[in-house]
Amino acid sequence: MFGFFKDKLKKFLHKASETEKEKAEEKEKTEGRERIEEKAKKEKIEKKEITEHTEQKSGFFSKIKEKFSYKLTEKDFDKIFEELETILIENNVAIEAINFIKSELKGELINREIKKGEIEEKIKTCLADSIEKLFIEPFDLIEKIKQGKKPYVIVFFGINGSGKTTTIAKLTQFLKKNNISCVLAASDTFRAASIEQLEKHANNLEVKLIKQQYGADPAAVAFDAIAYAKSHGISAVLVDTAGRMHTQNNLMKEMEKIVRVAKPDLKIFIGEAITGNDAIEQAKAFNEAVGIDAIILSKADIDEKGGATISVSYITKKPILFLGVGQQYENLKPFNIKEIINNLGL
């Protein structure tokens, strides 16, 4: 995960350190020459005032401090960040997130004393802190369901091909393992074979599926599933919906109707981590249409860039709950912010 991004960041940090080290060494050489010239001038002066002596003493300690530390100017920072910005853009990090990172780094690095030899580590630490601040802390879904009303209704949104139906099956397995009974609602009555696909997962997982015919009202299917859960004491209802592009107004209105009828406790957007900025734009659109509460990113295990993972929570102000990391039902990982930072090599 994030292999390409991690490699780019590693090279950037090393280069930034070497560049600042070279500048510091050049500064030392220049100051050395200036000291020699200054000494020659002082040898020609026969008398010195007491005030001059005090200033020399102060200057001496100032130079000692400069020997062991370095202060990054705004010009230095801009030069360093220009390369980092290119790396972030290459890895599909959203512009809004990049601007936040820049602001955070400027506040921590510009005109701050940094010990020589610690420049790389300082930039690395500040970068890790700024990226960590992009995320909204995920909540505990299991606790939320157990403490919420019964049945707890979750509606899922996303475009076709994002791994939505498979992710719903993975989450069903996760809930079952935590002693939460489930019923699935096949409210995607639009896409060919969608009902059969969800039915296959339901059979494999041994959970009830509520379905109707293709072309039926998706909101009615969700309503029936909730009624079934109430009458059978089932804890959670997971509602699949038709994959739709955020630009398809008629299908987006259908989604709004499902929300009105089902009155879900949780609305989850499912997007592909590997689609980068597309996933971010989709999440924004669904959030504006129905107000999503959380995010699951599929195919995170094959995401070499990581821009969507880093940006989507910051852009929508919603937490990422899980990452899909494989094809098996067990391949759904609760989202861990520290683990993401570690995967970036920070």
Pair type for strands 182-187 and 236-241: parallel
The percentage of the chain sitting over the pLDDT mark of 70, rounded to a whole number, equals 83
Q: Which amino acid is present at 269?
A: F
Q: What is the pLDDT of residues 105-140, one digit of tens each?
A: 999 999 888 887 788 888 899 999 999 999 999 999
Domain containing residue 161: 141-335
Give the CA distances from residue 240 to residues 140, 225, 258, 343, in Å, rounded to whole numbers and listed in that order. 21, 11, 10, 31
Whichever domain contains 10, its CATH number is: 1.20.120.140
Instruction: Give the Cα-Cα-Cα angle 6, 285, 282 (nearest 5 degrees).
Output: 35
Please tell me whether residues 295 and 177 are part of one structural domain: yes
Q: Which amino acid is present at 189?
A: T
| pLDDT of res. 259 | 95
Residue with tokens 């989604």: 255
2 compared with 101, residue with greater pLDDT: 101
Please tell me whether residues 238 and 109 are part of one structural domain: no
Given phi > 0 = left and psi -120 to 50 = alpha, else beta, which region is 82? alpha
Q: Domain for residue 64, yes or no?
A: no
Residue 100 exposed, middle or buried by CB count within 10 Å (0-12, 13-18, 19+): middle
| pLDDT of res. 132 | 96
Taking Cα atoms as reference points, which of 160, 164, 169, 149 lies closest to residue 191? Answer: 160
Q: Domain for residue 110, yes or no?
A: yes
Q: What is the pLDDT of residues 252-283, one digit of tens each?
A: 788 899 999 999 999 999 999 999 889 999 99
Q: What is the pTM of this model?
A: 0.84
Q: Domain for residue 60, yes or no?
A: no
In whole angstroms, what is the distance from residue 316 CA to residue 79 CA? 30
Q: Name the H helices within 45-178.
A: 50-68, 74-90, 95-109, 119-132, 141-147, 164-177
| pLDDT of res. 242 | 87
Q: Domain for residue 57, yes or no?
A: no
Q: What domain count does the chain have?
A: 2
